[in-house]
Structure 1
């Protein structure tokens, strides 16, 4: 009897009975009964007393009837293992004695015990120097694992035993890596070790082995990153320094000839151009340069901070000193505008800042960690043994830049901020005050001409006082004089003096900048040239839009003029230092000017805002349609001239470029109490739906459509509410929140039926099927898909018919019926190819490829999956691409082509990085494990 039973603990607890050449699974009953079996199986052949069983199952929370429950569990196990035993006959397999219960199995009938035995054998042959045999035995041992040990079981024994077995598993993986490294498999084992350290970052031995593998693969810089990441994690998590093994690995890497093993990335030079007319600040420049480039050649101060009120010249001074000190940083100079005080535009997050810097330092975009701590560790590793200066302009506060601090010595951070910051003894903080009279006059002379400034010293002094030494105010004043050669200094000073409140504001920090900006705006508004007046009007209208950038087209919509004329007005604002040019045809309000423009409150602001939002809504709708004409456009048409789109690729590129602007505009409009404006926000949100799905922008999609749902309810727009429910459900479905998605879809279905909207009802039925399929509830999905198919055919919608057939195929495949799935999918494919619907064709071919693999026909699966991937590529469909790569890996693996399988699954891992989709992350892990297991040879001789 005992020879016929196998108990498995290395995964979900399971048992099988062998009958002839076949194995049949044994249903082990409730979880606590499984725990009882696990306790007995861990000590086969030895008695386990009742008190140990109770303690292992419940611990301190054992109920009064715990022993009676154990009796019930033992009786249940006996019936399961010995179904033919006579009722009163003693159990031969699970015997009872005065010492406790004994499970009479051999150790090799319990996978956990067999694993430990093979692990010990591998250690023995490894000690004897036979690494090839050790690797073979370890592969066989690791192949016993099917997931997390004792998966799904709770209680003291399960938790303790799970941790013990996991430690054995990790030790086996490290032991295997040791043998592979000695056999020369450095590149092969590096990625496995990287995955191991990612999931167990505090295991120093795994990190040592990874460093060794990377070093011997010629990847010296990455090896040092691994060390630095480990050092920081040990210090932060455990308060410890690296052990001797890690330190020796670092010494090995550092002592090697860098030129032989590493090619350094291109040196970044990102500093903004210093002001050509920069004057003054000589004392501050000397003090700051001494911190960044000490005269005695000692390392620079790691953190230098410039603080002060808005408009005091922090950014200009920082750019000047950075250029003055750049020779001391030969490995690069980085720059980022942190947007800490940009009105209406969110500040960059720490991970945004780190991502920009890491990419500039040569990290491929897909390799930038999504986790903040990992990214910070990589940042510090990249700076190891280098000398880099990073200028972080307009930091919101210390928290925004904290992850970048504690950089290796030799590097420096130069930070500007409105906020004072306190950061230990390594930081140097300079509070920047107003410019002296002499410096202010010199700045004006540089801008407007020395002759004019010196012609009337009294009036010059008066103008300097009105500007209160603020460089921004002085710069604007000087620019106005330069643009009006017929004006004397007295004219401008008088204009500023006419505003009593302005004089008061000029002496009150932020208000000083506002008054200078008002003067510049007034000068344009009253200018003799029509272009000046148009520029003034443009500035007042730009304050209506809370978007990060603008273009000539958007400004033309605001102004109600052709785009070329609007762009000339924007260029005039650039000349007046009221607008920054961020790229060809793209403009951005300076942070302080943005605040000022928002306060101008032009007359009749409603019409310009509606025109601009209509332009955005019409353009987004058109781009969405052109990017994929086969997708239904949810947004209603808008009466506006959209941005001209040449083709699908151009449409996708435009949506990518404008995504931040369109999202911000939609959010602003949806928050408006005005019904027309809010309605345009709904249109914008709906127009972005396909783009957000294509690039997996689910958080943004859910947020915008949640606002859209509130607006539609307020407006009594049930058709719009139905669509908003649909979009919210799609975002929830694609992030694994199936139950919430179904709730919104039921609401959409109810609305469609109440409105008599057959198409909307059909769409809701299909989405209910899709949500259930995504949640792996295939039995629930099939009836919804079949109902959609009936309705789609009755109303004559081909796209709905294809969608329903695709969902039917997915449901059948999920229920283990690939032949029936293939029938539905092939019917859908014929139609998709006929109408040229590339997205549906890609989805269907991916499903057909998976079905062919399920049917044991990997050779037939591969052409389908390759074609699907090809179709997905132009649109940037991230999940579709990931799906195809996982399917290709599986098909190649089934054919025994493990090189191609490894390549496909590695590409899949790169594609999945940062996606954050739980289901596809799980499917990827399973395929990675399967590829890994497929490489293992058969069991050791005599095992």
Structure 2
């Protein structure tokens, strides 16, 4: 019996080719292909327990036999006997319902491959190209064929694809290193074979063009570009990416292309070349840079991914170079190497330098050193631009030494006009420019991506419009969101995109098995999440992309999330709302949830909010309310207001501005179970409502009437005050005990009639010019009314229409 260390040293799995298991000089027989698939599935999980059901699914998928569990257990038993014969009897451990392959009992060629590749990358980052190339050659030498060759099953296919992709990436890194080392001919000879197996791998064409051009074969390089341009357009409906186009343009102009791919690792003096026609806007930021350049100082550029920070930094470099300044533009370096380069720069004492640090979110640990040490060693007229996704730390703002020498600029989205100009400059199909601008919400990266995809779509008609839209959405999420820690964090992102405002309470309801506090704290640190007063809010194009992505990927989960959010908003959130500002937030959330169907969203204000307080009405204020009613709605309404103030003063709620206590608006909510004859005689509108209502009210039931909704705008358009009114009425409709029917009286029935019809409120005939709408809550109770429009909310809207063209309202 061998010890564990001896067994691990003597036992080696190979998966970078046909799978084998060697123990010393002996090669073990791993059995039938399906038995090998079970072993490889355990191996791929790298020391984690795997349930029997997962092994069955990974082997047979949907075609699993009824005896699949038993067959897998048989394979496990045979593998255990095989390993036990070589001192590895404990290598496969079991627990209820699953198995684990102990990775400490063997070595694995895939692990060695990964280690060598990572070591090569570190060598390359340190500038040791030759050593890095040797390490990559050693890593690729471990491969003996197609990964897991001959192993069947979906799990094996997934692992095979992953390993082959890693091999392709490592091969490309080796090719680039060989280009750096001047071994162009080797690359020209080897790339074509790889391209036959990876026809749509655009980065391989970049390498091939460079190798051909640097080998003096310019005409062949241009022909390869024409071929790939046609191929990408035909197969994917897209044009070549910016890097490939940039190489092509240099070849066309016969410019020297001798920069290694890691050229960004050293500071360079910017050329005075023009910035080109694809840069638009940012006049205020360029003016701020010019002012900082005149006096010296630090300019922070902040903003989420894709907002245009790098493009603006490049423009700063051009502006500074045109003014005769020495420009150091640093990007793409490891943190340790960046600090070394900055120390070297400070030691050079270059006069009037301009230092541009891009993607600084990767180097946050350098911020204290940068502020307290490095910047103090630069000349007083030095200009430093720091661009990143995060704002500068609080120490910058509280340190007196930086008062007046630091300016922070948060990049806003481009305007609609600037967005259109950028889309047109990118060659977007004119018919799609408006829809691309609307979708991108001012994000330059998304504008460029959609324009490029749309240009290919217009030219070839391939892929389909829907596939092109989904490609753009998926790419937006990959670029702007990146990796997400867990599935619960991704759910939190989808909730934040779907709801108007996201709080801990909402997350607790929408993701019942998640840690709401942890998810909320994680969300609020994302650079693309804003924190308005009522909760968190995903901004711009990400809201559309996240919501669209989940909607087509998991429609059942999407509906479940919507129901939970809507139930919370129309339930506890609406019920507990008392302050006007909170009422506005609730109505905007309701309108946002109903943006996909119906008409509610059109009747909720989109922006703007006065600082109002709600208060009951004192006798001394009656004349003030009557005067406002007369001013906005006429003498008849003013007379009605005075009458009910005297009879039911508790029914009135006034909205006043906090800053000066000015009366801004008011409403009345009359509860009627047996109105007096004098009341019916004095108010014909209430009399008509009483005749329309139920005369056989159950015991304890009543009718509610929103009799007066008075605000200076006379309800001519949705505004924050009408939001408060609507929120108050919906709260009463859904949560007032004993409410048998409700009515509201509006001064502009033509405006509000579509909303009332959508909400199931019929119009009541009555004397006068006002509109009266009512709903019978006994016949159509709140629970049924609340769910009535769910299908319209979720599915009855126009689909994402990114590339123009009319699309009908359809369900997916």
Scaled by the length of structure 2, the TM-score of the pair is 0.30
Structure with the largest fraction of helix = 1
Question: 1 or 2 for the larger relative contact order (CA 8 Å, sep ≥6)?
Answer: 2
Higher strand share goes to which structure? 2
